Chains A and B, each alone.
Chain A
């Protein structure tokens, strides 16, 4: 029961798609509509929240979760068991008129079903991974069965027969496992996971079809899944446990035989220092999520907007000269109370958007587990800090990059077991995933103990591609950063050459668009660590208010190192312009913020103005501003797509007087300065 070497699998092309499908809307399917009307009411009850809930994970995730459909049928298994004649692709490919009639008449209902189902699958997947670790825990089986049953029931109520049929088969398997008639091991977990995959595909496909897009060929996948489920059930019921329905207790006694000891489990999802009993203590926390309600994020945004305005008005009133002229103890007390309450309200409204990063980590855990099996590399996955909260949008957006990094680690970072042993490392590799706070940021680490980056090979590859000059000898850290360069990873052979780098530029871009940063630390032979640094939320920013011309701008405080009024002897001129500033030992480039941005290039005398030293991506520059006003926490607003191509500006903030101040983007500014000097050169 150790690492299951999955036999070479052939991917069965989704062979006969629609032709067979249209041919027969099966008798079962046509019988369905009768049952529809009464049940539909029930579905509505389930589907209570009125807001059109945006599907939580739509395509991007779905396509990442299942990029390698080589989970497809194992041919040698299919051979002895001839598929029953009743199992035709057409059973799982029902034409739209038959199965989409209900959801087509009520698009909201359809979307709700999809969103709910995908939500349930998220839960199921997480529980399955736990089950993989502790197959003896029957309560997990119940936790898996229940949401599965709900999805099946909803599909049936809505008349989406293809989904219902597949779900029904998998549910059978779960039910048998629940009643102890079949034993749960890695194979069963695998199969149910695959079931979730296939159903996710099918349900997403329902969404596409509702949107008027052509259906995808999911029939073959569905058939092969159902066949496998039937095979497994048959095999287990014949040769396995003979007692028809033993009580749940015996299983727990039986289980150790199936999965003898912790270290033999093919995949260990472990939290350092967390004992199994503590893990069960965590359950209530998970249960707590069930009491949550779904709210359209636009409603949340509206609350945040209005609360922001409330704060502005509150401070306008508090500072109103007419009011401050009144000296009245009670008024002062009430005003102070009002201020506290509004501040509290703002904090709370911001917190509405915060969710634990767990959801993203679960996706990564799944990817690591699948890849580990497929590549035959036994891996321990260590997860810490999955309760770390950050903005919901961030959790959603960071999931893809994290999965990508994890995939990179497993695919290219971790060596095959024999190589590891030859190098004196334990055959089982460790990938760790952790999240923790650091100031107003969250740090997420994806760490492996694999081979590390091969500096020399990256250098060669980069030279060949012309990313660096042939004679350049950059520092190792700079070499490693090259894997994030767009040109680096496009060539097909890159993975072989560099060991890493498929689409890492995309990862970096996605993270930077979240105002975050990604770094890599690596030690040859010891492994690599991706370090992702993200702001807690995209909604609030600690800013430094500066005046540029007639406008006030907000510089993110995190990027500001210091501010100073330089002495004349510290400003150095180039071609008659103040172009450099000496700050203690180092000489930094000096530019006027207004002229970099293109906001009226006023020639400022640095010695009469203020210089703000900004550090970004390791390089520091001095920005000349008219005035440094004060520090302020601001609510970040997007300027909208209309200003998407404005560089150096990250958004807008509503300032104390209700006006908007531009939020500057230090990274963009530093890049612009660098490009500017390159153009001049």
Chain B
């Protein structure tokens, strides 16, 4: 489980429907079954002492859910939020149980049916790029979609706060 993609790549497991979305010019996707809803970008309450990619928390009909900007998480330059910017509310399995969480993406593209033939193992890029939150890639109609392992996007234990408060 801890050795990234190598050794646990299970093509059959990955077959299914995916919601794809764009970050910059790249296409990512998450399993549709993990998606609870898609909402327009809204006011986010910032939480102090957390990494920059954690934008804060929002109120989703009475529930407080954390929101992560995937652009920042994956090292893209920050972009202004537009009409098309969305928060995809997903359910992630953390060591402490299932949690709802929002991810901010540039825009949502489509729902794709990914077949076994289209799925390939994530290539090793060397140590420059972290791949442990990629489950694999899918080549659909000549385009590459990265299949995300959402449970790992936030780190294994789901703790996103930095260990010590910023020096006051």
Contacts and interface: CB of A to CB of B under 8 A. Distances in A.
A598 B58 CA distance: 20
Contact of B66 (A642, A645, A649, A651): A642
Nearest to A641: B96
Interface string A424-452: 00000000000000000000000000000
Contacts of B163: 645
- Of B45, B64, B168, which is in contact with the most chain A CB atoms at under 10 Å from its CB? B168
B61 A646 contact: no
B165 to A, nearest CB: 5
Interface stretch (A302-310, A461-469, A558-566): A302-310
Given A640-B66, A642-B159, A643-B50, A662 B45 contact: yes
A309 B61 contact: yes
Nearest to A651: B64
Interface string A269-306: 00000000000000000000000000000000000111
A648 interface: yes
B10 interface: no
A341 B58 CA distance: 27
B50 A646 contact: yes
B161 A645 contact: yes
Given A595-B168, A639-B57, A654-B59, A659 B43 contact: yes
A526 interface: no
A642 B154 contact: yes
B62 interface: yes
Nearest to A305: B62
A397 to B, nearest CB: 17
B168 A596 contact: yes
A637 interface: yes
A661 B166 CA distance: 21
Given A640-B99, A641-B158, A659-B43, A648 B63 contact: no
Contact of A638 (B61, B64, B159, B160): B64
- Of A595, A643, A659, A676, which is in contact with the most chain B CB atoms at under 10 Å from its CB? A643
A648 B168 CA distance: 13
A644 B159 contact: yes
B59 A642 contact: no
B95 to A, nearest CB: 9
Contact of A660 (B58, B94, B99, B154): B58
Given A644-B159, A645-B49, A646-B161, 17 more contacts: A305-B63, A309-B61, A598-B49, A639-B47, A640-B65, A640-B99, A641-B158, A642-B159, A642-B161, A643-B160, A645-B159, A646-B47, A648-B165, A654-B64, A660-B45, A660-B64, A672-B165
6 contacts: A597-B48, A597-B165, A641-B94, A641-B99, A648-B165, A654-B62
